[in-house]
Structure formats: C-alpha cells, structure tokens
C-alpha cells in the first residue's frame, strides 16, 4: 500500500513489514510500524542527510532551514547582496557551514557506528531532499527494531507457502507480509482536459509555470499551493495576491516571450541545482524565500529592508507579511475608482425611443 493508505497500526501488528523509501514520511511510518510489527525493514535506494531538530541539542533546525542565511548557503539562479560574497570570496566559509552540519549529524546520530552515513557531502543534500530526522528512527536502528537496507531496491516479490518475501537487488531475502511504499508522489492534473494538460508542460513533462503560478498558454488558469515549499501557507497566500492582482488587471508583467524565457531558464537552473529532483518543476525548496521575493517584486509590494535583514538570522515570521494584503486591496479599490464609469443603458420605451 501507499504510505498515505497506511492508517491503522493493526495492519502491521505481529507481521513482517517492509517500508520503501528514506524520506521524512518513510521514516515516520517506519518508527510507528516498528512499535507493533514482528520485524521492520526499510529499503532505501539512496540514503539522505537528516537534520536534527536541534543541532548539538541547542541550535533549532529553523535557524538552518527557515532563514535567509540558511537559504543563501545554496546557490540561486541570481545572486544578490551578501549572496555574492558567500558564493564568491566566502565560498570556503559557506561550504564549511553546510558540511559542519553534516559532521554534527554524523556524531549526534552515531551514523558511523550504524553504517548510515550518506554518500557525498552535506552540500549535496539539496539534490535529494532536505528532511528532518524522525524522532526515534536512529534509536530504533541502534536497538535492532529497525533494519535499514541501504543502497538497495526490491528486485521481486514471491511467496513460499503461507510466507511472503521480498528479494533485494543484491540477493538478500527478507520476509514481507506487508509493504508500505513511501516514495513520494507524481505531479499530475488528470482532472483537466487533455488539450489543456498538453499546454501545461515543456517537452520533458515539467510544469511550465511563470512564478509557479501561471501557465503561459492557458489564459485564465492559475496554480496555487501546488508547489512544495518550506513556507507553504505563506507562499500560497502571496500567490493568491498575485492571482488577484492579475485578474484585476493591475499586475504589470513582462511580455509573453520574456516570461517564456524566464520559465525555461528557471527549469534549466533547477535541473542543475537539484539534479532534476524538482518534482516536475513544482518544487521550490530550498529557494522558498527567493520565490516569495519574486512574487512580491511583481506586485511591487516588497517587505521592508529591516525586516529582510532580520530574516537573515531569525526564522521567518509570516506575520511580518501582514501588511501586504491590505496594501493590495487598497490598490485594487483605487484602480477600480479610477476607471471611467459607464453610462447607464436605459431600456427602450416609447418615451425615450426618439
């Protein structure tokens, strides 16, 4: 079954369970299953770096993932201000900051002893997935209630009498009464007409959306909240404002050719930056704040310089964006008021026919 279909622990009670995947959801369901199953194996094609909720028991993960400094450690398509230093003269410092987190994770979770140190450096985290460590996961591995089959895939499933098994690609055989697949989702919009769907994608199947919102060749259609972000509610709210402004006709956008060039360039950049792991163009992690800035720039409603400066070291507080919506509403009201009023059309009667 899919991870989203696993809703009752009794489905795994006293049974041999196998979980496929190594992301946050896979590790979450593994910990839950391990508490009741006869055995619990997790099959991981690739080990991902896991960030502790508190680094060294002190530094909260939000400081690493939800600040402008944390985001700036990963090179964006366009560099501004201090980012130019971090990816120029300060590149050695930047790499040291990222990889020191990996060193802390290895030590804090005892990954060396468990044989679970991911390949590559912590900087490569962005090419797979950025995930928090599930509480109890590594403790379960150490206790033996969770067995990690690293760098493996399932080659085949078979039964021998009443017992069912999974054979891995290295020939290892493990009991498998129940298999939970927690390997993510495939982005699609099957509810839309096939002709419309064909206009939404580039020739590689990526969603070609300007600002992750607007299809270039389907007027009147918008996407909101479909992208994955570190600040999903905030990004969705800002996108809603962008859509409202466009519907009202007060959003000044580049030409269609310029927007098409931007979309193509952004997808090419994400291919390179994320190793094409960008969910068919719908993932903006780890550049959630850059995306918010771009949407606000289109709206000409950027937050204050001091607020932006504060966000470099402090986790982003969505409340600091609270003035954006009233400002846009005022602009919409003003734009409507400035429009010439149409003359009322009177019904034709014998009195006014002449």
250-289: pLDDT as tens digits: 999 999 999 999 999 999 999 888 877 788 889 888 899 9
Structure tokens at 65: 């993932």
Say how many Å lie between the first and final Cα of the chain, rounded: 76
User: What superfamily would CATH give domain 3-181?
Assistant: FAD/NAD(P)-binding domain (3.50.50.60)
Structure tokens at 263: 């979309």
Q: Measure Cα distances from 141 to 146, 187, 227 in Å.
A: 5, 32, 33
pLDDT bucket at 177, cuts 50 / 70 / 90: very high
107-153: pLDDT as tens digits: 889 999 999 998 877 766 656 566 788 999 999 999 999 999 999 99
Question: What was the pLDDT predicted at 99?
Answer: 81
311-342: pLDDT as tens digits: 998 999 999 999 999 999 999 999 999 988 76
Select from 5, 54, 61 the least CA-distant residue to 29: 5
Strand partners, 119: none
Question: What was the pLDDT predicted at 128?
Answer: 57
- How far apart CA 75 and CA 71 sit, in angstroms, is 8
Question: What was the pLDDT predicted at 57?
Answer: 62
197-242: pLDDT as tens digits: 999 999 889 999 999 999 999 999 999 999 888 889 999 999 999 9
The residue assigned the tokens 């196998």 is 18
Residue 305 CB partners (closer than 8 Å, separation 6+) = none
- How far apart CA 62 and CA 68 sit, in angstroms, is 11
- How far apart CA 98 and CA 85 sit, in angstroms, is 15
Question: What was the pLDDT predicted at 70?
Answer: 87
Domain boundaries, the chain: 3-181, 194-337
143: enclosing H helix or E strand = helix 137-143
Instruction: Map residue 331 onto helix, strand or coil.
Output: helix
Question: What was the pLDDT predicted at 28?
Answer: 95
Q: Measure Cα distances from 146 to 2, 16, 86, 354 in Å.
A: 19, 11, 40, 90
Question: Which pTM was predicted?
Answer: 0.84
Residue 128 main-chain phi, psi, to 5 deg: -115, -85
Angle of the 324-338 helix axis to the 288-299 helix axis, nearest 10? 20
Question: What was the pLDDT predicted at 274?
Answer: 81
pLDDT bucket at 90, cuts 50 / 70 / 90: very high
Label the pairing between strands 16-20 and 39-44.
Answer: parallel
Question: What was the pLDDT predicted at 186?
Answer: 83
Total length of the chain: 354
Question: What was the pLDDT predicted at 206?
Answer: 93
More confident residue, 65 or 267: 267
Given a contact cutoff of 8 angstroms between Cβ atoms, the answer to whether 289 and 316 are in contact is yes
């Amino acid at each position: 079954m899919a991870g989203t279909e696993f809703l009752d622990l009794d489905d795994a009670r006293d049974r041999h369970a196998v979980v496929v995947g190594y992301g946050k959801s896979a590790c979450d369901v593994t910990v839950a299953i391990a508490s009741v199953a006869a055995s619990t194996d997790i099959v991981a094609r690739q080990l991902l770096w896991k960030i502790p909720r508190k680094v060294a028991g002190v530094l909260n993960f939000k400081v690493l993932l939800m600040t402008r400094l944390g985001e700036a450690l990963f090179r964006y398509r366009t560099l501004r201000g201090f980012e130019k230093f971090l990816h120029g003269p300060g590149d050695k410092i930047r790499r040291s900051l990222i990889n020191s987190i990996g060193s802390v994770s290895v030590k804090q979770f005892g990954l060396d002893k468990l044989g679970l140190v991911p390949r590559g450096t912590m900087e490569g985290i962005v090419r797979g997935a950025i995930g928090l460590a599930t509480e109890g996961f590594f403790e379960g591995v150490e206790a033996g209630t969770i067995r990690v089959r690293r760098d493996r895939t399932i080659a085949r499933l078979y039964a021998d009498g009443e017992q069912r098994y999974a054979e891995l690609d290295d020939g290892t055989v493990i009991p498998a009464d129940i298999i939970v697949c927690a390997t993510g989702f495939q982005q699609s919009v099957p509810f839309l007409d096939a002709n419309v769907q064909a206009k939404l994608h580039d020739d590689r199947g990526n969603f070609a959306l300007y600002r992750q919102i607007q299809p270039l060749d389907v007027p009147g259609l918008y996407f909101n909240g479909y992208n994955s972000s570190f600040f999903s509610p905030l990004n969705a709210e800002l996108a809603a404002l962008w859509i409202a402004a466009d519907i009202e006709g007060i959003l000044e956008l580049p030409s269609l050719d310029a927007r098409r060039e931007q979309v193509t360039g952004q997808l090419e950049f994400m291919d390179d930056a994320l190793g094409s792991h960008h969910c068919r163009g719908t993932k903006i992690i780890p550049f959630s704040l850059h995306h918010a800035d771009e949407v606000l720039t289109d709206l000409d409603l950027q937050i204050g310089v001091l607020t932006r400066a504060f966000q470099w070291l402090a986790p982003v507080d969505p409340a600091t964006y609270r003035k954006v919506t009233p400002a846009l509403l005022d602009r919409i009201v003003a734009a409507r008021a400035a429009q010439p009023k149409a003359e009322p059309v009177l019904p034709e009667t014998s009195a006014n026919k002449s």
